Structure 1
Amino acid sequence: MFTGIIEAIGEIAAVAETGGDLRLYVRTGALDLADVKLGDSIATNGVCLTAVALPGDGFVADVSRETLSHTRFTRLQVGEKVNLEKAMLPTTRFGGHIVSGHVDGVGVILSRQEDARSIRFTLQAPVALQRYLVAKGSVTVDGVSLTVNSVEGCDFVLNIVPHTAQETIIDGYQTGQQVHLEVDIIARYLEGLLGQVKDNNDNNSQGLTLDKLSAAGFMHR
């Protein structure tokens, strides 16, 4: 579990195809690895990766075909910058929102414009994620916890303050660039619960019928 508050900017040191999937070597820059051990999770551009080796200046992780199918990791290039966040601790200050590190889809940067000292981005989400985007709600972009300014169809607007631009890779975003999106996990759980309630109501929508009475043993045909 993560908070969406980026701790450091890393760099892809190596990308290797291994048995049909990928193995990544990520140099972690200023990220403190003193408390990281094998098997720990590190969010890399919003993707929860498990450290399988710790060479000293970073970590190595395997990326499954399932993860590759939902991310842009198949297009990663050596030297590419990435956002990094270690898994949260029980004592961690919760500055962002609940982030699982499971990417829901890939979005596209539609526009970028200066807005006083901030940067205003318009992004387009996949159609399947549209229903989870609400004004003033939360969304994760490449692992960064952000607030949605406004929504129109699949398009949504973000305002990036100078500190966020400086501490993440967002300052380098250009029109047409693809980014990882993770919607608010609470919205997903609510959708699932409401769907179950609707199904139960639909199943009971006919009220009392002869078939139901017969099945309950109250009458014989």
Structure 2
Amino acid sequence: MFTGIVTAVGTIREASQKGDLRAVIACPYDPAKMAIGASIACSGVCLTVVERGGTPGDAWFAVDISGETVSRTMPGMWAQGARLNLEQAMKLGDELGGHIVTGHVDGIGQVVSASAVGDSTRIVIAAAAELAPYIAAKGSITVSGVSLTVNEVADQADGTCHFTLNIIPHTAEVTTLGTLKGGDSVNLEIDVLARYLKRMQSLRG
């Protein structure tokens, strides 16, 4: 489990197709604290560490990425040189600073616009119709691994929705969200509580 509080930005150093896709990700973690078999969320995708090395502050880890995962995540995410929001799995007793995040991508969103509002950035993202019922104003959503609060939701005639986020300067600086622009894709994970509430509602109906 994760909280959606990004602790580092990593860069894909190598990506090679050998059956599954294997990616080697450079990061500023301590390799001694990345156990083989441990989970690390990579821009919202829970992956397993299969190798690691380097030195504290200049480390790397390798992950195997299935074809299913590649097909369900944003285009270009696994290319060499791509930057990823990283979060190591939470431990019992850790502060839950964001919200409960599983590291399972529910869909891909499209950035409609990104504009400056004061020192922050206002980002509008389009979500598919199957995700729209789970997105609510002042609710939580995970965008490329980052726990965020939805400011507004505008339902569209085709069943999709546009939702608005406010990215403060700190979040823009320590994640990849600060470089988003119109037309970019992002990984979306809906709030797990919203998922269960929707299921309960459907059963009552």
Q: Tell me the TM-score normalized by structure 1.
A: 0.85
Amino acid at match of 1:195: S
Distance in 2, Cα, partners of 1:151 & 1:160: 16
Q: Which residue of 1 aligns with 2:45?
A: 47
Q: Which residue of 1 aligns with 2:9?
A: 9
Q: CA deviation at 1:58?
A: 1.2
Pick from 185, 195, 201: which aligns with 1:194?
Answer: 201
Show CA shifts across 1:137-177 (max 9, x none): 00000100000000012100000011111110111111101
Q: What is the DSSP-based 3-state SS (H/G/I as helix, E as strand, rest coil) of the residue aligned with 2:33?
A: coil
RMSD of aligned alpha carbons: 1.3
Q: Which residue of 1 aligns with 2:186?
A: 179
Alignment of 1:1-221 (within 5 A): 1-19=1-19, 21-28=20-27, 30-56=28-54, 57-72=59-74, 76-153=78-155, 154-198=161-205
In structure 2, do the counterparts of structure 1 residues 73 and 13 end up closer, same or farther at CA, with 3 Å as the change threshold?
farther
Distance in 2, Cα, partners of 1:145 & 1:125: 16
Amino acid at match of 2:136: V
Contact 2:143/2:187 (CA < 8 Å) preserved in 1?
yes
Count of residue pairs the alignment pairs up: 196
Q: Which runs of 5+ in 2 are unaligned?
A: 156-160
1 or 2, which has the higher strand percentage?
2
Amino acid at match of 1:142: S
Show CA shifts across 1:163-205 (max 9, x none): 111110111111101010000011112222333343xxxxxxx
Distance in 2, Cα, partners of 1:54 & 1:39: 10
Deviates more, 1:70-79 or 1:162-171: 70-79
Distance in 1, Cα, partners of 2:142 & 2:39: 17
Structure with max Cα Rg: 1
Q: Tell me the TM-score normalized by structure 2.
A: 0.91
Q: CA deviation at 1:74?
A: 5.6
Show CA shifts across 1:45-67 (max 9, x none): 01000001113221111111221
Deviates more, 1:65-74 or 1:109-118: 65-74
Q: CA deviation at 1:78?
A: 1.1
Contact 2:134/2:198 (CA < 8 Å) preserved in 1?
no
Percent identical pairs in the alignment equals 45
Distance in 2, Cα, partners of 1:75 & 1:187: 27
Q: Which runs of 5+ in 1 are unaligned?
A: 199-221
Show CA shifts across 1:101-139 (max 9, x none): 000011111101100010000111122100111000000
Distance in 1, Cα, partners of 2:6 & 2:83: 13
Distance in 2, Cα, partners of 1:74 & 1:64: 15
Q: CA deviation at 1:77?
A: 2.1
Amino acid at match of 1:97: H
Amino acid at match of 2:26: R
